[in-house]
Amino acid sequence: MKVMRRRFSLLNAIFDAVMARPDTVGYPFGELELPEGYRGAIVIDADKCTGCGLCVRDCPADALRLEKKSRDEFRLIHYPARCAYCGQCEDSCQRGAIGHSNALVGATARPRELIVVLKEKNIDD
Amino acid sequence: MQFIKGLFFLLIFPGLSFQVVCGLAFEWIDRKLLARFQRRVGPPWYQPLADLIKLFSKEDIMPEGAYDLVETLLPLISLSAVLTAGLYIPIAGFTPFSFEGDLIVIQFLMSVPTLAYYLAGIASVGIYSLLGGGRSLLQFFSYEVPLLITISGPAVMAGSWSIAEISRSQLDQGPFIVFQPLGFILAVVGLIGKLKRDPLDIPSASSEVVGGSLTEFTGAKLGFWHLVMNIQAVVGIFLLANLYLGWSNITSPLPAIGIFVLECLAVVVVLSATSAVFARLRIDQLAGIGWKILVPLSLLQLGFVILMGV
Amino acid sequence: MNKITIPIGPHHPLLKEPLSMKIDIAGERVLGASLRLGYVHRGIEKLALERTYVQDVHLIERICGICSHVHTTTFCLAVEALLGIEVPPRAQYIRALMCELERVHSHLLWLGILAKHVGLETVFMHTWHDRELALDIMEGVSGGRVSHAANQIGGVRFDLSEEQEAMIRENVEKLKTQVGGVLDVIENEPALRARTQGVAPVSVELIKDYCVVGPVARASGVDIDLRRDDPWPPYDQLDFKVITLPDGDAWARTLIRALETRESLRLCETIMHKMPDGPVTVRAPRKVPEGEVVTRSEAPRGEVVYYLRSNGSDKPARLKVRTPTLAVLSLLPEQLSAIHVADIPVVLAGIDLCIACADR
């Protein structure tokens, strides 16, 4: 009997599969649950950012850029289309200003126009 | 009046429209069942129709050197062959065109698509098409002989070569699957080979010959081939339901239709489960199995039926 | 019969990644094959010289999607050896845990691909469904299913909380049951055995001639496994079996990966059991003193070798990567002679190609 059961193991497997509901997530028509540590879109705590540029120096994908005129005049720009979502900026920042949320970044047909200004201080142009 | 009636039978029921709708329904049930066996959700009910419309709206390209007229005619000839074959099979006991000997005619008509598949492979001069076409002929030789021998079993037991008669005689004798279970299994194997489904989809094995004979087909021609495959499956299922499970000649129509639908669904479930569970055979393994196992078993079954009749 | 040449070209349903093979066949028998690589070459070794070590960790992760963690681990080990720093034990254990989970997910992926090419689509879907458990563990722990970004120079980038440890233990238990079921199906399914048994046997002499590594070598009876022969901690403190099979045909290559998956899950349990407490990272200086180092690791496909030379700045002077698929691919034309055409997918799947690794 055990031999027979092992011989028909695939038949058992498909029978079980029909009885159980499929495990497919119905996104985008259903909910999508992402774990908390999921590396999604970049967010910044603007009060903590001082424009030191450590995140820019360590980014492997050149997705961050700092335009700095002086200590109190700078602008930090992020390019989500270039970003590799690796989290190196979060590790490099010594003040805990920049980091990942667990929100998904949507698709776009124009990646070159996807620019997010993270922090602007006393700078126009 | 007779002309209108004939046109109705040919075009609406049990002819063109009915068989196309059944073909699409079969494709949906098959894909949905396979998906559920594999823990997937499966397509919605309109998917086969949407696929067909999409195929008919695509551009039609052929490689240079392929025989254009032949390529266009082959799917149309196969389609007409299977549609004609479907006219002679009783649907829930109703058949306007049956005659003595139509079992043989149906067998002949159902092998036309296989030969057309082979010719399509040769006519589109790509390498994968040639390989796929050659393999389909090799497979044809391995399953067709046991299938023919097996199908003679119910004919001998009912004493007639007309499918309607065979189906009707099961009301007195009981469904033939009870007396010929081996025959039913062999007929299912033969049907799988004829339909080129897993585990016998050697001619169109996508990992080896990309698409088989149909690699170079696009657009409306591929749409027609798709229809041919589906309608061939439906006709084969109706045939098997009538030959082995036929109990649908009861006079009141509603129970007859209900029983017929249940029988066909049972055959579809058997086909889908076999598709899901077995791996693809190699062509030399199939030839070995065909001639060393299937043919002797089918002869044994036929001999048994003849002895029982005597 | 005439000889025709079929291209298993850059685009083919059989290949996950582009690779060009021209196979000469006559009827249904294969006469010979020739191979051509380079379709996925991105110049990683040159790109690595233009980035700092910190940025390079992320670049190296993208050499391959399936064995990404092993590549970053070997690279970080190389840099840490040059820096002369010692990674804390908890970080070593976490690195080993991720390596073993990657081995599990890679073998399950490969098993599904083999089943699909042989025609058993059901086994393909079922093994990939079980593989999701392994990916769920890795996502819950590191934040990404495939790009884990787990390593940094000096340790790992995350720590495991109590709930995460409980989640890992629970999922590993579930995986053990599922992998047991998969093993049952493989051993008892007659069609799978009929398609793979006796196909393309590889002798020990061929293995030694072509310097083949990994499960392909172990399936022919050669007993090499870097986790035991040249271990980096914590593998020298862990007990596990190295599985070899004598036949060397495609069936042995199938069975050995399934058995290795089960062994890796046992190893995951041992790692969780023995994991020490403590910090997970030490501070690493940015500039690496001059020197050169060779480090090796056991990736799911075999032995990965990294050579790193530094010149005192914060960018490497030379990086060289030798991946296992490159060693195994040289065996392919030999294996592809004198088999059936229908056995080509079985042979190709048995080597477990990862062309992105091979081309860098």
pLDDT over 60 at A78, yes or no: yes
pLDDT over 70 at C1, yes or no: no
Do A14 and B41 lie within an 8 Å CB cutoff? Answer: no
- CATH match of A37-121 with 3.40.50.300: no
What's at C264, amino acid-wise? Answer: S
Distance CA B233, CA B195 (A): 6
Residues on chain C touching A23 (C-beta within 8 angstroms): 129, 132
Q: Which position has the token pair 């890796």?
A: C264
User: In chain C, what are the domain boundaries?
Assistant: 40-359
Q: Which residue of C has its CA nearest to A87?
A: C149
Neighbors of chain A by Cβ distance (3+ pairs < 8 Å): B, C
- % chain C with pLDDT above 90: 15
pLDDT digits (tens, 9 = 90+) for B77-114: 999 999 888 888 888 777 777 788 888 888 899 989 98
For C84-104, the DSSP string reads T----HHHHHHHHHHHHHHHH
Neighbors of chain C by Cβ distance (3+ pairs < 8 Å): A, B
Domain that residue B59 falls in: 21-309
Q: How confident is the model at residue A3 (pLDDT cuts 50, 70, 90)?
A: low
> Across the interface, which of B38, B130, B199 has its CB nearest the CB of C119?
B199
Do A13 and C185 lie within an 8 Å CB cutoff? Answer: yes
Could you tell me the pTM of the whole model? 0.88
Is B15 within a domain?
no
Distance CA B282, CA B202 (A): 7
Mean pLDDT, range C275-304, rounded to an integer: 89
Pick the more confident residue, C298 or B246: C298
User: In chain A, what are the domain boundaries?
Assistant: 37-121
Is B13 within a domain?
no
Please tell me the distance in Å from C193's CA to the nearest CA on chain B.
10
Number of domains in chain B: 1
- Please give the ipTM for the structure prediction: 0.84
pLDDT over 80 at B310, yes or no: no
Q: How confident is the model at residue C12 (pLDDT cuts 50, 70, 90)?
A: confident
> Across the interface, which of A14, A18, A24 has its CB nearest the CB of B277?
A14
Distance CA B167, CA B89 (A): 10
Residues on chain B touching A23 (C-beta within 8 angstroms): 39
Determine the pLDDT at residue C319: 92
With an 8 Å Cβ cutoff, is B214 touching chain C? no
pLDDT over 60 at A7, yes or no: no
Residues in B 59-88 with any Cβ partner in C closer than 8 A: none
- % chain B with pLDDT above 70: 96
pLDDT digits (tens, 9 = 90+) for C301-337: 888 999 999 988 888 999 999 988 888 888 888 888 7
For C40-359, CATH gives 1.10.645.10
Q: Which residue of C has its CA nearest to B198?
A: C119
Residues on chain B touching A12 (C-beta within 8 angstroms): none
Q: What is the per-residue burial (b if ≥16 Cβ within 10 Å, else e) of A26-65?
A: eeeeeeeeeeebbbebbebeeeebbbbebbbebbbbebbb
Q: What is the average pLDDT value for chain B, to the nearest integer?
A: 85
What residues contact residue C16 under an 8 Å CB cut-off, 6+ apart?
C113, C353, C355
Distance CA A12, CA C78 (A): 49
Residues on chain C touching A58 (C-beta within 8 angstroms): 52, 54-55
Mean pLDDT, range A60-67, rounded to an integer: 88
pLDDT over 90 at B54, yes or no: yes
Quickly count: other Cβ atoms within 10 Å of residue B205's Cβ.
27
Please tell me the distance in Å from A59's CA to the nearest CA on chain C.
7
With an 8 Å Cβ cutoff, is C188 touching chain A? yes
Determine the pLDDT at residue C294: 94
User: Is residue A21 classed as helix, strand or coil in its secondary structure?
Assistant: coil
Distance CA C57, CA C286 (A): 13
- % chain C with pLDDT above 70: 100
Mean pLDDT, range C224-252, rounded to an integer: 85
Please tell me the distance in Å from B208's CA to the nearest CA on chain C.
6
